Amino acid sequence: LDVSNNRELTYLNCGDNNLTTLNVDNNINLSTLYCSYNKLTALNIGNNSELKILMCNGNKLESLDVSSNIKLEDLRCQNNKIVSLDVSNNTALKNFYFENNQLTALDLSENKALMSFFVSGTNSTPQNCPTSLVSDFENGKYKFDLSTLFSGPNEDIARVMMVKLINDEALPETATYDEDTGIILISPADKIEAIKYYYDLKFAGNPSLRMGVIVNLKYTLKTFTVTYQDEHGNTIGNPQTIEYGFDAIAEAVPEKIGYTGVWNHNGKNIIADTFIRPIYTANPGEIKMIKQPPVWFKGSNIYASFTSNAKFTDFLSVKVDGITVDEISYQVEEGTTVVTFNPAFLETLSIGSHTVEIISSPGTAYGTLEIDILEKVPETGDISGCYPWLMLMCSSACGLILLTRKKRIS
């Protein structure tokens, strides 16, 4: 549609077409313009100072500048995508329809001649904010700052009268809104997809008039890693990524013969990276290790003893890390069943934790043998380092004497 040569044109009705552009720059006498229900994405009316009636509703306008149209009395721009609209210069405005756009604020304090209007959020579809609020995380709650939506002139967070759910119900008890700062805090357990706030239009004809605006909330999830492990620190299953305050999916507790196992954490209400390991309790009347192997240091040349509550006469064998130990590597004696590893065998084991088993006909006793290395070997002339070695030698000698005596008695 080309009306560039129609300079005397005062009335133009081109609604209900498929127009994608419309140029009325040369139509300076235009007082009435109907261009509703087209496909316009932009409309420049800066040269149309005589314009009194503008109906541009039902298009795809993202902006509309009416600051030069001071004679405008009737403005209908609803059902577009307008994100900002300043009508402070349009003091002659009597009729104003603007629902179903993307406004976040609007000021009608200068429009004292306004007589009838159709206000979004009171008796029509509310505005839809074009941008989502993105969360921070603070003190166990997701934090949204509503004040970031108000940066233009005559826009103020203090004019937000209330914040609700989009169905106009109150926020859940776990969510709060601070009127002074515009901060919304939401519990992870009650994540809200969107909120609706009501903005004070400052309209003299109706001081209680509000504009409803829907804002989508985007959560940057706060998560932690939960890892289930066996008693030796080996990972069970896959580490789980759990959102703050939520529960992990429990793995099965590894079986241990003669013991009942439970996790040391119930996996609920996760608020930090968490490692969960089993705790075992010996079953009453079951075969168990009543004396665990000691921590054994390489180079110490001492024996390591541990004891099962099984009868000596029921003894069958010994295993380390699931492998049966040769009889020449240990001695077994009564009281009830005492197994002693000799130093030569202990030296063959790697540094770290090893599972040991005393196998008897009624069952198996389980224990853990730790192999470590001495931190310091005394240097020549350094007598301070001799005391630990002297103690180890004395312990070894006492152990040999006691072992020899018990064998003679048996």
Residues 159-180: tens digit of each pLDDT: 999 999 999 999 999 999 999 9
The verdict on 332 and 265 lying in the same domain is: no
Please give the average per-residue pLDDT across 232-253, as a whole number: 95
The verdict on 272 and 240 lying in the same domain is: yes
Please give the average per-residue pLDDT across 325-336, as a whole number: 93
Q: Is the pLDDT of residue 398 over 50?
A: no
* CATH code of the domain containing 227: 2.60.40.4270
Q: Is the pLDDT of residue 53 over 60?
A: yes
356 lies in some domain: yes
- Largest interatomic CA distance in the chain: 130
Residue identified by tokens 């070997």 is 377
Q: Is the pLDDT of residue 386 over 90?
A: no
The verdict on 254 and 341 lying in the same domain is: no
CB 184 within 8 A of CB 195: yes
Please give the average per-residue pLDDT across 194-223, as a whole number: 90
323 lies in some domain: yes
| Beta-ladder partners of 173 | none
pLDDT at site 117: 62
299 lies in some domain: yes
Q: Give exposure, 223-237, as e/b (b: 16+ Cβ within 10 Å).
A: ebebbbbebeeeebe
Its domain, for residue 258, covers: 223-282
336 lies in some domain: yes
pLDDT at site 319: 97
Of 266, 282, 298, the residue that ends a domain is: 282
- 155 φ/ψ angles, rounded to the nearest 5 degrees: -110, 130
Q: Rounded mean pLDDT of the chain?
A: 88
pLDDT at site 404: 44
Q: Is the pLDDT of residue 391 over 70?
A: no
For 146-158, the pLDDT digits (tens) are 999 988 777 889 9
For 257-316, the pLDDT digits (tens) are 677 899 999 999 999 999 999 998 877 778 889 999 999 999 999 999 999 998 898 899
Quote the percentage of the chain above a pLDDT of 70.
Answer: 89
260 lies in some domain: yes
